Amino acid sequence: MEIRYPNGKIFKPYKAEKRLKNYEYGNRGMTLEEDLNESNEYYLANQIAVIHKKPTPIQIVNVDYPHRSKAVIKEAYFKTPSTTDYNGVYKGKYIDFEAKETKSKTSIPLQNFHAHQINHIKQVLACDGISFVIIRFSTTEEIFLLEGKYLLKFWERMENGGRKSIAKDEINHYGHHIPIGFQPRIDYLKIVDQIYY
């Protein structure tokens, strides 16, 4: 199946076998998204917050019907550029965040973010919403919450000819380390409480 972004570029998903290699130790094969989804289910079940992964809007343009009961999507396009990965409500405030992983031990490339996501974070912050990014360094299994206002500063620095990544030292300084737990696995709302409440 071929999926395209609104600009026509072909979407290439990560290969499953490559992803599993990155998580053979420490995280037992779980991805950041899976961990966050489990954490959000815990928050929902315990009436702490309502936060969901946003579905990706896809326009299907070519379907093959080899059998009556088995439709195969052959070609699809992303309808519109997506905003961020997660949104919802916590303690009466709108919460909106992006989740990113990097194999690098020393930085996260800003090319992992898209201009429409940065604009969306700006809009959320301008309306007094809570917006941030959760970053996992997959090699070291470290997870950080970086407030949206700092991501915007690093993005602006890049646009003005500065470095094209956020150094791990900068994330250590401006971000907040999130320890891996049991229930919830990634208790990012504990950090949100420290920053915003």
Helices (H) and strands (E) in the chain, counts: 6, 11
Any residues with CB less than 8 A from the CB of 104 and at least 6 apart, and which? Answer: 137, 139, 165, 168
Q: What is the SS3 assignment for 78-128?
A: ECCCCCCCEEEEECCEEEEEEEEEECCCCEEEHHHCCHHHHHHHHHHHHCC
pLDDT score of 65: 77
CA distances from 197 to 55, 92, 130, 191, 193 (A): 29, 11, 11, 10, 5
From first to last of its 197 residues, the chain has per-residue pLDDT tens of 666 666 666 766 544 444 444 433 333 446 899 999 999 999 999 999 999 998 665 666 677 777 767 777 777 665 555 678 899 999 999 999 999 999 999 999 999 999 999 999 999 999 999 999 999 999 999 999 999 999 999 999 999 999 999 999 999 999 999 999 989 999 999 999 999 88
Domains of the chain by range and CATH?
2-196 (3.40.1350.10)
75 among the known binding-site residues? no
35 is in an annotated binding site: no
169 labelled binding-site residue: no
**141 assigned binding-site residue:** no
